[in-house]
Amino acid sequence: MRGSAAGGRPRPTIFDHDPGSLRATCEQADMPGYVADQVLGWVYGHGVTTPEGMTNIATRHRERLADLVPLSSGSVLEHQSASDGTQKLLIGWPGRGGLPVLGQSGSGGESECVMIPAATRRTGCLSSQVGCPVGCRFCASGIGGLDGNLTAGQIVEQAFRLGHLGVGRLTNVVFMGMGEPLANAGAVVAAIRTINAPWGLGIGVRRITVSTVGLPAGIRKLTEFELPVKLALSLHAPNDEIRRQLIPWAEYATIAELLDACDGYFRKTGREITLEYLLLRRVNDRVTHAEELATLARRLRATVNLIRYNEVRGLPYDRPTTADVLAFQATLRRRGVRAHIRASRGRDIAAACGQLRHERVSDSNSPPASASTITRSSDGDMS
């Protein structure tokens, strides 16, 4: 295999490197260290991911680059475009980071990422794992459990690909895709450094959000991270009883413990916490639930993002009515809580995290979607 490391696993790609590690790699291969800066400039500054396109690098060095440092890892298996401009990629990661080789174990190493455009921003929603260990009852990501962690390079590569879909570079990044980011914290924080770095994607820390289902120890560890990103807590319930019904990991931490950890993050970083609250019809969307949630939100002075459920095939939950969502928001606002209803995006392409992968696995014999909404690729081309 080109670029293989010992044991048959591929070498780290360009997206796994920072300037220091890439300079060391180049120098070990008898190339000048400045070639590393040139390569990073071509990749992140110009979107060039082929050695042939790096025209200011000596030919003899370009010939070595592909074997020395692979310039990509994953392959785009599906590319969907929604009527509202949302775009979603299903990416296969063969044999990297401890993941299974595609086709050898269920769906293989496949993850999703989404680009969500708005008037002044283009937000990349990134995955941190293949599958998810949490197993939230309403979520497609955790169906089948966890297949493996993504590497930092694979996380960065998602952001890179989303920023080169023809609609302009990403302005914001949210870790709200497949997986629990704090269960793969080492790779996530390494990826954030590259996403934030001036030599990388150059996205400011105020435009990067880590969303967690709630690991108090992980939140406290994130508090010590040198880059004070935004923190969102996926609460999804107003009390511990309902939360344990929806989120298996709620058995390990109470809401009070989570709020204590979040309060510590706010006091250390000055970043206001966001509470993510998924509304499930007749489960957690009653006015009485809103009154309980208001008490929790006011304790943190947190903003609440209300999210209307996107139905997942095979799961027993329904989307709430518009009237119930508005009544829920109005109750929070009457109690002095800033509450926003997140616009549903990409519903015509199953844009909720894990849906595309889940539907690809569970219904592989169904007719393909129309060519106007899905572009398929197997060669990993980033163009």
Q: Where are the domains of the chain?
A: 11-68, 75-364
Number of H helices, E strands in the chain: 12, 13
Residue 27 CB neighbour total at 10 angstroms: 13
Determine how β-strand 172-175 pairs with β-strand 208-212.
Answer: parallel
pLDDT of residue 101 exceeding 90, the answer is no
> How high does pLDDT run on average in the chain?
86
Quote the pLDDT of residue 347: 60
Q: Which amino acid is present at 176? A: M
Best-predicted range by mean pLDDT (75-79, 239-243, 373-377): 239-243
Superfamily of domain 75-364: Aldolase class I (3.20.20.70)
Is 136 an annotated catalytic residue? Answer: no
Active-site residue (options: 112, 157, 180, 276):
112
Distance CA(197)–CA(207), nearest Å, equals: 13
Distance CA(56)–CA(24), nearest Å, equals: 20
Residue 152 CB neighbour total at 10 angstroms: 26
Residue 17: CA count within 13 A, CB half-sphere: 24
What pTM did the predictor assign?
0.86
Per CATH, which fold does 11-68 belong to?
DNA polymerase; domain 1 (1.10.150)
Residue 276 CB neighbour total at 10 angstroms: 19
Q: Note the pLDDT tens digit of each residue in 279-310.
A: 999 999 999 999 999 999 999 999 999 999 98
Is 112 an annotated catalytic residue? Answer: yes
